[in-house]
A and B are shown apart, each in its own frame.
Chain A
Amino acid sequence: MRIVGWRATLIGFVIIAPGLVSAQESEIVQLREALDALRADYDARIAELERRLAVAEQNAAQATSMAQQPAAPAAAGSAAFNPAIGVIFTGQAWQYGEDPAGYAVQGFPFGGEAGPIEEGLGLGETEIIMNANVDDKFSAWLTAALALEDGEAVVEIEEAWVEATALPAGFGARFGRFFSGVGYLNEKHRHSWDFADQPLPYQAFLANQYVDNGIQVRWLAPTDLFVELGGELLQGGSYPAAGNAHDGFGSYSLFARLGGDVGTSHSWLAGVSYLDATAVERASGDEDEPFLFTGDSTLLGAQFVWKWAPNGNWKDRNLVLQTEYFVKSDDGEYQLPGAAAAAWDAEQSGWYAQAVYQPRPRWRVGGRIDGLSGDDPGAAFDGTLLELPADDPRRYSVMLDWSNSEFSRLRLQFTHDEAGRVDDNQWGLQYIHSIGAHGAHSF
């Protein structure tokens, strides 16, 4: 009110002022200045009052909203849907120099789903993922893969597991159907692979990925260094196991992982794993006339992953170096199509090394070398796909991918294949797109 009073007086004075004929020019200037100063002061005070009002309003709104917001907020992320639902779309166009229909790696017949990517335009697996907390002690996860096989829609339960989330002393447990914790890539979902296909040891020794039904127990040491020990007891129904041996307790695995940081820019993960599987009439090679292996199959694996990003700021630039080595020992006998059973006791090894570099947001470039080698299984296998090849199978791949966001990726891949019967060059374009909820990726 005081300001307004002042102002009125001043305005009155200004109105009277022109009447004073004797007033000097300088006086008018002075008065103008005074008026401007007052006006500025007045504006500033109004602004201050407005600001205080805004603060008071915000505080009031905050108090109201605080009353409305739940005291204990829901889980990070998957609160918007219950359960969280996501769909992942993949597909590709792949071109071969040689017809991939008869593709096989001499000495290493594949089992399960392993093999070359479908030639030409094709639809990959469409994955439907649902996950949520069951209650305060369990969470659950489902991955259903939809695929077309000879025009027929096929639904496959890829993963269906329940996780105990409230175990004491650093223990964790998972039961149901899940990707085994052996190796590094085995647990990785197809959509997070850096290349369109798995490296040769995964194709030859694990039929791409070892997934089975059972229980997994993990323990994390209470140390600054990441130390994880785990083990699994599995039914033994899928490659490299088969036939649900030992009354349905057909295989087990053990794994250990260590990891840490070096400064803020580097981090690493190293691990070893052991899988002991029993196979009863395990099929590999030709689908119609398969080799059937019965015996023990063990797989020893070692992994190392190194990741770098300047200052640990992953978004702009980063580099991932990754390598794995496997030794597979099969001891038993092979039933060869149209022939007698032959004893098999041989060791095979497989490895890959790859580097993926992101030079700028959205773009990544990568290279990979993968290979296999093995023992001579004996004369009984001469002339069959199990005979050891003259040269070790090997492939060289490069890829370039572009991700518009975390939810879309387009990839170009080139592979020079020296693993198949004839050396071949292969080109491919792949897309991976996801909608809905998308789980966090592990290291």
Chain B
Amino acid sequence: MRRIMALLMIAALPLSAHAAVEVFSCEPEWAALAKELGGPLVTADSATTALQDPHYIQARPSLIAHVRSADLLVCSGAQLEIGWLPALLQKANNRKVMPGNDGYMEASAYVLRVDATGNVDRAKGDIHPQGNPHVQTDPRNLVPISRELSRRLALLDPANASVYEQRLEDFLGRWNAAVLAWEARAAPLRGKRAITHHKSWVYLERWLGIEEAANLEAIPGLPPTATHLSKLTAEFSEGGAHFIIRSPYQDDRPSQWLSERIGVPAIVLPLSVGGTEEADDLFALFDDIINRLLGALDHA
């Protein structure tokens, strides 16, 4: 028994010795942000990859083990992870990251969420009463979120507070400059109309002045139906849309089907870091999103 305990303790050691703050993020963008803000002072793992639909994740044993050892949990919130995060928290026996503590952060709580509704009638599909949770698609939202994340890191690791502050200022300087550059490059996208698979892109559209013409899903969260796709074909065969957008994890058949019929390019946009080969960090993520949108416009 003593030998087993000793082995377990050795197994536990590397986790606590290496990093000051261990971050568990539900989506890759928050892990990437934590790495920007914490550098070598943090380890950050994401529960999901950008190739997975974050609405539908299994509460896997490996994730429970990660939450168990986390100091800080960062998730989009607004019920995006309602189908699995509560099961992880319940099993992980880690009071540091339970809601209400410094170690629990819902990123979308620190920006203005759109489409919040008091009406939770499920006949209208998989809606989020607290608003659309996909807030990372507007880079300006990362400003308040990074400030809060930096504040949390400093709270959990006060010895390095000044380092976090310095890294935050450095990040924000680079980020704000990048936002201006993206906005300048994306100017031709203004007023263009997009058909999106799911309502994943409302923040991006508001940022770049793209209009959401329609969704491939007739009811949010439910797969696109043939009836609805036929309706969209009739509606947009004479024009009225410039691109059809889906996320890497979404079935490509509905957007390809519609694309062939209405002659509008169907494109994949990375919803998070790692969603495409090019989008390997937060800066590259928006570079790639804008490249792909502009590319589609050229081909239209």
Binding site for B on A (CB under 8 A): 47, 51, 54-55, 58-59, 61-62, 65-66, 69-70, 72-80, 133, 136, 139, 163, 165-168, 170-172, 218-228, 257-261, 264, 267-269, 307, 309, 311-316, 361-362, 404-407, 435, 439-443
**Closest Cβ neighbor of B66 among chain A residues:** A224
In the complex, the answer to whether A58 meets B206 with C-beta atoms within 8 Å is: yes
Q: How far is the CB of B60 from chain A (nearest CB, A)?
A: 5
CB contact between A77 and one of B16, B53, B82 (< 8 Å): that residue: B82
CB contact between A76 and one of B58, B62, B77 (< 8 Å): that residue: B77
B52 within 8 A of A: yes
A residues within 8 A CB of B221? 405
B residues within 8 A CB of A224? 15, 62, 65-66
B residues within 8 A CB of A219? 93
A residues within 8 A CB of B66? 224
In the complex, the answer to whether B58 meets A225 with C-beta atoms within 8 Å is: no
Given contacts A66-B112, A170-B68, are A76 and B223 in contact (CB under 8 A)? Answer: no
* 4 tightest Cβ-Cβ pairs between the two chains A and B: A259-B61, A226-B61, A440-B87, A172-B93
B residues within 8 A CB of A223? 8, 11-12, 15, 65
**Closest Cβ neighbor of B75 among chain A residues:** A76
Q: How far is the CA of A172 from the CA of B95 in the complex (A)?
A: 10
B92 within 8 A of A: yes
Interface SS of B by simple majority: loop
CB contact between B120 and one of A47, A80, A167, A225 (< 8 Å): that residue: A80
Q: How far is the CA of A219 from the CA of B212 in the complex (A)?
A: 49
Apart from the given pairs A259-B65, A267-B60, 11 other A-B contacts in the complex at a CB distance below 8 Å: A80-B120, A165-B90, A220-B65, A222-B68, A264-B52, A311-B249, A312-B51, A314-B56, A314-B57, A406-B126, A442-B59
In the complex, the answer to whether B52 meets A312 with C-beta atoms within 8 Å is: yes
B251 within 8 A of A: yes
In the complex, the answer to whether B52 meets A311 with C-beta atoms within 8 Å is: yes
In the complex, the answer to whether B249 meets A62 with C-beta atoms within 8 Å is: no
Near A by CB (< 8 A), chain B positions 1-39 give 8, 11-12, 15-16
Q: How far is the CB of A405 from chain B (nearest CB, A)?
A: 6
Q: How far is the CA of A165 from the CA of B12 in the complex (A)?
A: 22
Q: How far is the CB of A308 from chain B (nearest CB, A)?
A: 10
B269 within 8 A of A: no
Given contacts A58-B206, A264-B49, are A73 and B77 in contact (CB under 8 A)? Answer: yes
Q: List 12 A-B contacts (CB under 8 A).
A: A76-B82, A80-B120, A167-B93, A220-B64, A220-B92, A222-B11, A228-B64, A269-B61, A314-B53, A316-B251, A362-B223, A443-B60
B residues within 8 A CB of A316? 251
In the complex, the answer to whether B190 meets A441 with C-beta atoms within 8 Å is: no
B residues within 8 A CB of A440? 59, 82-88
**Closest Cβ neighbor of B94 among chain A residues:** A170
**Closest Cβ neighbor of B8 among chain A residues:** A221
Given contacts A62-B144, A72-B100, A316-B251, are A167 and B59 in contact (CB under 8 A)? Answer: no
Q: How far is the CA of A80 from the CA of B110 in the complex (A)?
A: 19
B55 within 8 A of A: yes
A residues within 8 A CB of B209? 51, 54
B99 within 8 A of A: yes
B81 within 8 A of A: yes
Q: How far is the CA of A74 from the CA of B105 in the complex (A)?
A: 10
**Closest Cβ neighbor of A442 among chain B residues:** B87
Q: How far is the CA of A434 from the CA of B31 in the complex (A)?
A: 34
Q: How far is the CA of A442 from the CA of B122 in the complex (A)?
A: 23
**Closest Cβ neighbor of B221 among chain A residues:** A405
A residues within 8 A CB of B60? 259, 261, 267, 307, 443
Per-position contact with A for B219-241: 1 when CB-CB < 8 Å, else 0? 00111000000000000000000
B residues within 8 A CB of A309? 58
In the complex, the answer to whether B56 meets A225 with C-beta atoms within 8 Å is: no
A residues within 8 A CB of B111? 62, 66
Q: How far is the CA of A316 from the CA of B100 in the complex (A)?
A: 34
B291 within 8 A of A: no
B residues within 8 A CB of A226? 61-62, 64-65
Q: How far is the CA of A392 from the CA of B109 in the complex (A)?
A: 58
**Closest Cβ neighbor of A81 among chain B residues:** B120
Given contacts A222-B68, A315-B55, are A261 and B249 in contact (CB under 8 A)? Answer: no
Q: Which of A62, A78, A269 has the most CB of B within 10 A?
A: A62
Q: How far is the CB of B254 from chain A (nearest CB, A)?
A: 11
In the complex, the answer to whether B62 meets A260 with C-beta atoms within 8 Å is: yes
Q: How far is the CA of A163 from the CA of B98 in the complex (A)?
A: 13
B292 within 8 A of A: no
In the complex, the answer to whether A220 meets B249 with C-beta atoms within 8 Å is: no
CB contact between A443 and one of B58, B129, B130 (< 8 Å): that residue: B58
Q: Which of A58, A61, A314 has the most CB of B within 10 A?
A: A314
B157 within 8 A of A: no
**Closest Cβ neighbor of B89 among chain A residues:** A76
B residues within 8 A CB of A73? 77, 99, 106, 109
B residues within 8 A CB of A269? 61
Q: How far is the CA of A173 from the CA of B239 in the complex (A)?
A: 61
B79 within 8 A of A: yes
Q: How far is the CB of A284 from chain B (nearest CB, A)?
A: 34
